Each structure stands twice: as C-alpha cells, then as structure tokens.
C-alpha cells in the first residue's frame, strides 16, 4: 500500500522526525507546567485558577506528555534505525 517514492526514505530519517516531534512535545509540556507555575505566582492562585483552568492545563499537559512518549516509542520500538 505504500507508494514507491516513500520507500526511498530511510528508517533513520523517519525516526529522527519522530524524535524531533518527541522533543517538541516534551518542550511544550515543560513550558505548560512552568507557565502555569509562573501565572500562579504572579497573579495569585485564588483569582486566576478555577476548576476549568486547572482541568484544561491538566488535559493539555497529559496530552503533550502522552504524545511525547508515543513519538519516542514509535522510533525506538518500530523503526529500530541503524545509522
């Protein structure tokens, strides 16, 4: 089912792409956590943090962390690149 032109792409290139996505997602997760802490410290927890905001931060953080994990696993388990 794979087109002929995509068979020419080496496994290490695909793995490097997924590793880059892993790094981006992990960075977004860290930025999300740090920005949440910074907002809480600057604006104060009582004024800004409500249940909806906390749920959204937790959902976004969980999604970014899970994406990062699976991007890494795709490369490590499936592609097994040899450079």
Question: Of 20, 7, 19, which Cα lies nearest the Cα of 73?
Answer: 19
Q: What are the domain boundaries of the chain?
A: 13-79
For the cut 60, the answer to whether the pLDDT of residue 80 exceeds it is yes
Give the alpha-carbon dihedral of 40, 46, 51, 52, to 10 degrees: -60
Q: What is the mean pLDDT of the chain?
A: 77
> What's the whole-number mean pLDDT along residues 61-83?
75
Distance between CA atoms of residues 72 and 23, nearest Å: 9
Distance between CA atoms of residues 24 and 19, nearest Å: 9
The percent of residues above 70 in pLDDT, for the chain, comes to: 84
Res 56: pLDDT: 81
Q: What is the pLDDT of residues 23-63, one digit of tens each?
A: 887 888 888 778 877 877 776 655 556 677 778 878 887 88
Q: Is the pTM of this model over 0.75?
A: no
């Amino acid at each position: 089912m794979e087109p002929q032109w995509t068979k020419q792409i080496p496994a290490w290139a695909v793995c490097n792409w997924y590793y880059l996505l892993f790094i981006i997602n992990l960075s977004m997760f860290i930025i999300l956590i740090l920005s949440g802490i910074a907002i809480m410290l600057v604006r104060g927890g009582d004024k800004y943090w409500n249940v909806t905001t906390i749920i959204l931060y937790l959902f976004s953080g969980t999604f970014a962390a899970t994406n990062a994990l699976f991007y890494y696993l795709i490369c490590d388990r499936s592609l097994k690149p040899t450079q």
